[in-house]
Amino acid sequence: MQMHFGVNSKMALETVREHKTRSFLTVLGVVIGVAAMIFVASILVGVSRDFQGFLEDYGTNTLFVFRFDIGIRTGRMTAEERNRKPLTLEDAQAILAECPHVKNVTVEVQPRIDFDVRPVPQVARYGKHEIENLDYTGTNPAYQEVYNAHVSQGRFFTDFENIHREDVAVIGSEIDKNFFPAHDGIGKTIIVSGVPYQVIGVLEERKGQLFKGQTADRTVKVPYYTYRKHYPADDEHFIGAEAFPGFKDAAEDEIRGLLRRRRNVPFNKPDTFGITTAEAIADNFRQIMSTVALMTIVVSSIGLLVGGVGVMNIMLMSVTERTHEIGVRKAIGARRGDVIRQFLTEAIVLTGLGGLAGVLVGVGAAACLPLIFPSMPTSVPLWAVFSAVLMSMSVGLFFGIYPAVKAARLDPVEALRYE
């Protein structure tokens, strides 16, 4: 008797309905493995897209220059990196003057990074309100162009205010929300690390749900020379260079050559500074995410393996319980291939249902995560859904082969005698 896939699937669903609890316990490992895979994949994809958008918001043609490499580090800094001398304002001015493919340059100054001393947190105050962990630096008016920073209220400071060391400041959106809920902070005076500044502008909120409320929006930018007036000993300079469209690689080569000459780096020695881009930081981040994804696959595979062993066990039990039924079918003409297809279809349908249940659980968990952690972005990729279901069905196919073959090899006469 030729059994078609549709009939086999219907019989498999009948078996699942007759043994609901047993079927659920059988595929519980598959459900857990698939749910974990979907949940973690949604977090990885969501964070990756959010991080990429955050970096691109700073400008796709922007180069970041610092005294050591910027980005996500997986190891400790070397002694050489820790002892490097900082970049200078003159370095930034030389880049703008001597690198033809560089359109604009900005520089930020802040306290020297000392790896042996815990940094003193910068604090902003207004009335009874207080915000810590600020991104408080002195910079020049080119900051808004190089870093694609837009002002939502007021204005950015000018070269005149920079040269004349005016005590004015442009604040981030997070500070504006906390200090001035009515968004009427323009003209008000805030105290930043003991120094009074008049607020003249508020920056737009940076892209990236993961970074909401972080230092990107908890920022205070003051004129470069104003900052040096109050903190003459601070000499840690961070340079941002905007390349002309299509010439970012050329601009990077020019900056590297110029800084190597200015810092007297021998031709056979590595750079004593770091140059990177948003794309390079994003690639570094993706490599780390790939490692996390690989670990997740390994952990999920353990759940699928446990589920597969459970499927094999329950299918062997099913063969024993249905021995008489198998004998009847073989006696009226069913071939070995028919019996194999029947039991393989049952195993695939069983694990496929477990995979679908795992997808629902994983998607539901991913949807609920932002309700618990509002700043955590999630995005369920379709490839993860399809891959999880296919993988769960593959588990059923693989672990169902032995029981199916065992059922097909039963002698019909002996099977009919089985009680």
Residue 324 pLDDT greater than 60, yes or no: yes
Are 314 and 401 members of one domain? yes
Tokens of 349: 């349908």
- For 58-107, write each residue's pLDDT tens digit: 777 889 999 887 765 556 777 787 888 999 999 999 999 999 999 999 99
- Relative to beta strand 62-66, strand 236-243 is antiparallel
Residue 196 confidence (pLDDT): 96
Residue 64, both tokens: 């970041």
Residues 289 and 382 both lie in one domain: yes
Q: Are both 46 and 123 inside the same structural domain?
A: no
Which DSSP string corresponds to 52-78?
A: HHHHHTT-TTEEEEESS--S--SSPPP
Tell me the percentage of the chain whose pLDDT exceeds 90: 34
**For residues 198 and 168, what is the distance between their CA atoms, to the nearest angstrom?**
5
What's the structural domain count of the chain? 2
Mode of pairing for the β-strands spanning 102-110 and 135-139: antiparallel
- Are residues 128 and 34 part of one domain? no
Residue 100 Ramachandran class (φ > 0 left, ψ -120 to 50 alpha, else beta): alpha
State whether 410 and 295 are in the same domain.
yes
Q: Which of 128-142, 153-167, 345-359 has the lowest mean pLDDT?
A: 345-359
- 70: exposed, middle or buried (Cβ count in 10 Å: 0-12, 13-18, 19+): middle
Last residue of a domain, one of 189, 207, 230: 230
Q: Please report whether residue 75 resides in a domain.
A: no
* pLDDT band, residue 1 (cuts 50/70/90): very low
Which residue carries 């604009």 as its tokens? 104
Work out the pLDDT band at 333, boundaries 50, 70, 90: low
Please give the sequence-ordered ranges of beta strands (E in DSSP) within 347-412, or none if there are none. Answer: none
pLDDT at 208: 58
Contacts (Cβ under 8 Å, ≥6 apart) of 233: none
Query: Which letter does DSSP use for residue 171 in this model?
Result: E
Please, are residues 125 and 191 in contact by the beta-carbon 8 Å criterion? yes
pLDDT in tens, 378-402: 888 888 888 888 888 888 888 878 8
Q: Does the CA dihedral 129-135-141-144 come out positive or negative?
A: negative
Do both 290 and 411 map to the same domain? yes
What integer pLDDT is reported at residue 322 of this predicted model? 66
Q: Provide the 10 A C-beta neighbour count for residue 254.
A: 19
Predicted local confidence at residue 169, as pLDDT: 96
Least confident of 329-343, 365-379, 382-396: 329-343
Give tens-digit pLDDT for 264-314. Answer: 999 888 899 999 887 777 777 777 777 877 877 777 777 778 778 877 877
20-36 pLDDT tens trace: 676 777 778 788 888 88
- Is residue 64 in a domain? no
Smallest Cα–Cα separation from 138: which of 274, 259, 234? 234
Residue where a domain stops, chosen among 214, 230, 246: 230
Q: How far apart are the two ends of the chain, measured CA to CA in Å?
A: 23
pTM listed for this prediction = 0.70
pLDDT of residue 415 exceeding 80: no
Q: Which long-range contacts (CB under 8 A, 24 or more apart) does 251-254 make?
A: 251/63, 251/99, 251/101, 251/102, 252/63, 252/277, 254/98, 254/99, 254/100, 254/101, 254/102
Instruction: For 163-200, write each residue's pLDDT tens digit.
Output: 999 999 999 999 999 999 998 999 999 999 999 999 99
- CA 139, 144, 150, 156 dihedral sign is positive
**273 within a domain of the structure (yes/no):** no
| pLDDT at residue 413 is higher than 60 | no
- Flag whether pLDDT at 17 surpasses 70: no
Q: Are 342 and 3 in contact (CB under 8 A)?
A: yes
- Closest Cα to residue 204, out of 173, 178, 175? 173
pLDDT, tens digit, 9 for 90 and up, residues 204-245: 887 655 555 456 788 999 999 999 999 999 999 999 999 998
Contacts of 9 (CB under 8 A, 6+ apart): 345, 349
From residue 360, alpha-carbon distances to 31, 161, 250, 354 in Å are 9, 58, 49, 10
Q: Would you say residue 255 has pLDDT above 90?
A: yes
Specify the higher pLDDT residue, 309 or 336: 309
Helix axes 89-98, 248-262, angle to 10 degrees: 130
Q: Give the domain-ending residue among 187, 213, 230.
A: 230
The overall average pLDDT reported for the chain is: 82
Given a cut of 70, whether residue 118 has pLDDT beyond it is yes
Let me know whether 187 and 288 are in one domain.
no
- Whether 252 maps to a domain, the answer reads no
User: What local confidence, expressed as pLDDT, does residue 160 receive?
Assistant: 95
Report if residue 380 sits inside a domain. yes
Alpha-carbon distance of 393 to 103, in angstroms, equals 56
Same domain, 140 and 31: no
Kindly tell me if the per-residue pLDDT of 370 is higher than 70.
Answer: yes
DSSP-assigned states of every residue in 174-239: HHHHHH-TTS--TT-EEEETTEEEEEEEEEPPPS-GGGTTSTTTSEEEEEHHHHHHH-TT--EEEE
What does the DSSP assignment read for 1-14? -PPPHHHHHHHHHH
Is position 260 within any domain?
A: no
Shared domain check, 47 and 160:
no
**403 is a domain residue:** yes
Do 225 and 291 lie in a common domain? no
What pLDDT is attached to residue 2? Answer: 43
Is residue 225 domain-shared with residue 322, that is, in the same domain? Answer: no
Instruction: Give the whole-angstrom CA distance, residue 16 versus residue 289.
Output: 38
Check residue 236 and give its pLDDT.
Answer: 93
Structural domain for 307, as ranges: 5-54+284-417
Q: In this structure, is residue 139 part of a structural domain?
A: yes
**Residue 241 burial (10 A CB sphere; 0-12, 13-18, 19+):** buried
